[in-house]
Amino acid sequence: MQERMTGALLEIPYRDPVAAFAPFRDQPHALLLHGAGAHPAARWSLLAPLPASPLVVDGPVAASDVLAQLRARLRPAPASPAIADALHAAGVPFVGGLAGFFAYEFGGLIEATAPQRRPVGLPLAALARHDVVAAFDHAARRAWIAAPDAAAARRLAALLGDGAWRPSRPAGATLTPQEPDGWYGAQVDAVRTAIRRGDVFQANVSRRCAGRLSPDDHPFDLFARLAAASPAPFQAYLRLPDAAIVSNSPERHVAIRRGPDGALHAETSPIKGTRPRGASETDDARLIAELLASEKEKAENLMIVDLMRNDLARVCSAGSVRVPVLFGVETFANVHHLVSTVRGRLREGCDAFDLLAAVFPAGSITGAPKLMAQSLIDSLESAARGASYGGIGWFGDEGGMDLNVTIRTAACVRDAEGWQVEFRVGGGITIDSAPDAETEETVAKARSLVAAITGEQP
């Protein structure tokens, strides 16, 4: 163990981080950020199971007040600079700070003219302080605990699961689409009508599925099944007192890293454009080529890239916003996506919370122009989005942050009979969208969640 007056760094045996986290699955505000798959961002899994000073936002309050309270929970410097430096040198992204969740409707606090719904069974935001963090490096197959002192590091090491834990198998779960047959196609037509009127260029409309987990099932078991069957780089499990959020997200919303120049650099990676996976490598190659050749899909992606460039420009230095990757293809368990990358250098005096206020919610799950798209979505969707299309991630003491977009995400709310479960799937609708094709895309996006909840094969 490496020890300092103000901190400790303990290397522990590498194991499955999902199994290691299992003993904390019912600890309120415990958070697992799990990377899986071949994506570069999937290298790390971060366990933050010992929360302190939670902040839960339930009712109407000024976003500036919430962000001020979050800033106050960060430290001006890491508790142990030497240990933080050692972990950052090894590539560990988060070594202490705040971590948690923002519902889609948190955007209504940031922008007063945005829709003002409230999620059911979930807060608008829930974050906590995390000073004891376990980091698992899948590339090197090594793991460490960073803590304020040696005793805290050893205490967490003794509490982590040993890797033998396995999830339950669902039996008796129920899951039902919450809108009638043909509903989604009708919403596609409604968005196209709004585009013709000049109201929006694009809007991301979603459909809702809801039901109950099996009587002997648990949200963390659901998370583990998803993690095994559908690897994604930005998976997350967050336990709240009477709820849990299970995210199988492939999409980063926004991240901040400190560059060699000492400045904070922001990056966002909007996903827009989808094709299902094929039955063979040949099918996959054909579908990827089709995706890259689709003017409709590229136009959809480019609209969101332009929106994100404008959002970043609100807090980045003039001329620093760039698009180093346009129309990249990333392949996941069930789909291929077009993914672009937008980067910028934060202006002096701006921090991660200023960036959050500038970009939340993500343009990829609203549309363009953002506020008009949000208003249109609110008129078409029958209930609050809640955990769907919000964000889960962390804010580091050193100024960094990383936040996913909670697509492919289920909200589990506990009641007297067990666990209710709900999720949404959707897509960006443009003037060239075809109702049947867009409906089928939502089916492809839902397959992994349906299979993990019900046990049915995707």
Q: What digits encode the pLDDT tens for the residues 17-74?
A: 999 999 999 999 999 999 998 888 899 999 999 999 999 999 889 999 999 999 999 9
Question: What pLDDT is recorded for position 2?
Answer: 47
Write the CA distances from 223 to 167, 217, 402, 441, integer angstroms. 9, 11, 20, 23
- Span 147-174, mean pLDDT? 92
Kindly state the tokens that stand for 329: 């293809």
Q: Give the active site residues.
A: 251, 272
* 16 closest CA partner among 32, 1, 39, 40: 32
What is the pLDDT of the chain when averaged over all its residues?
Answer: 93
> Tell me, what DSSP letter sits at residue 262?
S
CB-based contact 50:158 (threshold 8 Å) = no
Write the CA distances from 422 to 105, 112, 260, 364, integer angstroms. 16, 27, 43, 21
Question: Which residues are paired to 57 by β-bridges?
Answer: 125
- Span 398-417, mean pLDDT? 96
Is residue 80 very low, low, confident or very high in pLDDT (cuts 50, 70, 90)? low
Q: Which fold has domain 2-160+176-454?
A: Anthranilate synthase (3.60.120)
Is residue 260 very low, low, confident or very high in pLDDT (cuts 50, 70, 90)? confident
Question: Which residues are paired to 255 by β-bridges?
Answer: 267, 402
Is residue 5 very low, low, confident or very high in pLDDT (cuts 50, 70, 90)? very low
Backbone angles phi, psi at 355, to 5 degrees: -65, -45
Q: Which helix (H) or strand (E) holds 245?
A: strand 243-249
On the question of pLDDT at 436 being above 80, the answer is yes
Higher pLDDT, 262 or 183: 183
On the question of pLDDT at 4 being above 80, the answer is no
- Span 140-164, mean pLDDT? 93
- Span 202-219, mean pLDDT? 96
Side chain identity, residue 443: V
Q: What digits encode the pLDDT tens for the residues 296-309?
A: 899 989 999 999 99
Alpha-carbon gap, residue 143 to 188, rounded angstroms: 47
Question: What pLDDT is recorded for position 138?
Answer: 95
Question: What pLDDT is recorded for position 3?
Answer: 40
CB-based contact 51:129 (threshold 8 Å) = yes
On the question of pLDDT at 428 being above 60, the answer is yes
Alpha-carbon gap, residue 145 to 123, rounded angstroms: 30
- Span 411-435, mean pLDDT? 95
Q: What digits encode the pLDDT tens for the residues 226-239?
A: 999 999 999 999 99
Kindly state the tokens that stand for 200: 């929006």
